[in-house]
Structure 1
């Protein structure tokens, strides 16, 4: 596990929110999970996320969550950090998932703003504090108003960040001015991470530290190259590389996680199967996505070929 809790330098670059692979019998496919993890490690990722948005977390049983986290920890073997999704709109359930993630060996948890029940800001503060009080793990907050119908207000975020156990924010609000606005009001070690691929480059250029990404599952080398060029001050190159990703990003983001699963299936990495209420892409969407992958220049994107070593 991460030690000390204030060590957050590893939250950098593009961090993939991994889809959960299922086999033809709708069982979790741990061999495919291994391929996905190894591909991120080879690209130089610092961490991966499991059991979260792309991982169809709401359809996973508690036993499946435990199995996925333990498998990811074993596959990583300390080479990357494992961030486990452990959010819920029920505080006691979020506490249970957080404790189970800790027992399974996760390095940190990602905890989303409670969805559907629309708590007031004091309720959000109390919710996250109750989770923190239940674990020794570092906590990354997840703000995604499009799914939760309730934002994590800046003032609430600042209050939570005063405690070192809250180490970062996955920011899916789409406000690219947030890093510049908040940086001076947050602790130096608190990490601001884009949660939106469409605006990630701008978010990073405005002072963000990392991107927790869906598209980087498909093009990990290209995404890491975008981040590296940005950090070296080569904004024009980073923009050019980002431009090559736009058609694919649009396809993947329109139907998450079905889109990213189908893209990865085209690369021979996993079966595209999803669980209801998510259904596979229809044929026109498949054709559009396949075309978007095909037009990415291999010299730019790096190896978009399957890893068959597992």
Structure 2
């Protein structure tokens, strides 16, 4: 059955980068570097950009900064690729406000992380997402990352939410192939299932996932776009050939709290300045060699 959201579903596929938010050393947002990163990602073939996700330090941007960064993404991208705006919160009213502002800015889709810290029951999760979907007319994507939120959106709850027209996708960052496959079988005919785990994303594509929202794509956008473009067309030989060169990054970029290693890597590559928001700190020097060697192995630096 066709819906008003079929077109955006066809565009929210492939390699999607959860882009870092570049900052000056004093912690203020570096919009010049952000513009450069956006252009570089698109030039390298990234299919979609995610603004102010976890990797974009959404937890430490103010609400005003949050909306300002999303608006900047939309204005700078100018429709070249879809923009997915991170607008989740553990306060439903706040999530509605952020989602409405993203819709007003022209974002293509809202990414809504499961409400963290207050540990709602499944009925609370359902009502939270239902309230946002009813309040704001924008395509919406669930985001299940229990390793960070300490709450898990159950398959039963996802199935209930899949009946809401503008809830069109889920980012599954559980890292469980078994769970991902079950999810695809249960709701894959009604919503997109996207991976949020670089380590398992390619394998999840083999059983029906439509793309990957990635940390690694910050560092290796061309290899990741080639990997997931090949996977979308079913050419897994080409997908693995592109992926094998950079797959170690999926581990190395998590040697400490994300996005600390990713920001160091981008700094080493000359892409951003040395800025990050407390309570995260700049990557400890003891980890520099690991990231440096990972970048050399991936043929990103010499």
TM-score range, shorter chain: over 0.9
| CA-to-aligned-CA distance 1:139-198 (integer Å, 9 cap, x gap) | 100000111111111011011011220010110111112343233432535111110111
Partner of 2:6: 6
Q: What corresponds to 1:138 in structure 2?
A: 139
SS in 1 for 2:168: strand
- How big is each residue's C-alpha offset from its partner over 1:93-130, in whole Å with a ceiling of 9 and x where there is no partner? 11111112122221111001111111111110000011
Alpha-carbon separation, structure 2, partners of 1:181 and 1:187: 9
Q: State yes or no: 1:218 paired with 2:207.
A: no
Q: More deviation in 270-279 or 138-147?
A: 270-279
* Structure 1 unmatched runs, 5+: 299-303, 306-310
Say which of 263, 267, 270 aligns to 1:268.
270
Contact 1:6 1:164 in 2 (8 A): no
Match of 2:15, SS state, is: strand
Partner of 1:76: 77
Specify whether residues 232 and 129 from structure 1 end up closer, same or farther in structure 2 by C-alpha distance, changes over 3 A only: closer
- Counterpart of 1:308 in structure 2 is none
SS at match of 1:246: coil
The alpha-carbon distance between structure 1 residues 44 and 246, as it changes in their structure 2 partners (threshold 3 A), is closer
Counterpart check, 1:123 vs 2:119: no
**Number of residues of Structure 1 aligned to a counterpart in Structure 2:** 298
Cα 1:265–1:152 change in 2 (3 A) is same
The SS at the match of 1:101 is: helix
Unaligned runs of 5+ in 2: none
> 1:178-231 deviations in whole A, cap 9, x for unaligned?
343233432535111110111111111221111000000110110111113333
Is 1:295 matched up with 2:297?
A: yes
Q: Which residue of structure 1 aligns with residue 104 of structure 2?
A: 103
Matches within 5 A, 1:238-249: 238-249=239-250
- Counterparts of 1:253 and 1:119, CA distance in 2: 28
Residue-by-residue CA offset, 1:53-94 (whole Å, 9 max, x unaligned)? 001111101221121111111111010111111111111111
Relative to the length of structure 2, the TM-score reads 0.93
Partner Cα distance (1:115, 1:211) in 2 = 22
Paired position in structure 2 for 1:301: none
Where does structure 1 differ by over 4 angstroms across 4 or more consecutive aligned residues?
none
Question: Shift of residue 4 of structure 1?
Answer: 3.4
Q: Do the aligned partners of residues 232 and 95 (structure 1) sit closer, same or farther apart at CA in structure 2, a change above 3 Å counting?
A: closer
Alignment-derived partner of residue 186 in structure 1: 187
Q: Assess if the C-alpha contact under 8 Å between 1:132 and 1:139 holds in 2.
A: yes
Q: Secondary structure at the match of 1:109?
A: strand
- State the partner residue of 1:65: 66
| 8 Å Cα contact 2:12-2:82 kept in structure 1 | no
TM-score by length of 1: 0.91
CA distance in 2, matches of 1:144, 1:231: 24
Q: Distance in 1 between matches of 2:136 and 2:115?
A: 18
Instruction: Kindly indicate whether residue 1 of structure 2 is the aligned counterpart of residue 29 of structure 1.
Output: no
1:279 maps onto 2:287 in alignment: no
Cα distance in 2 for residues equivalent to 1:189 and 1:297: 40
Does the CA-based 8 Å contact 2:47-2:225 persist in structure 1? no
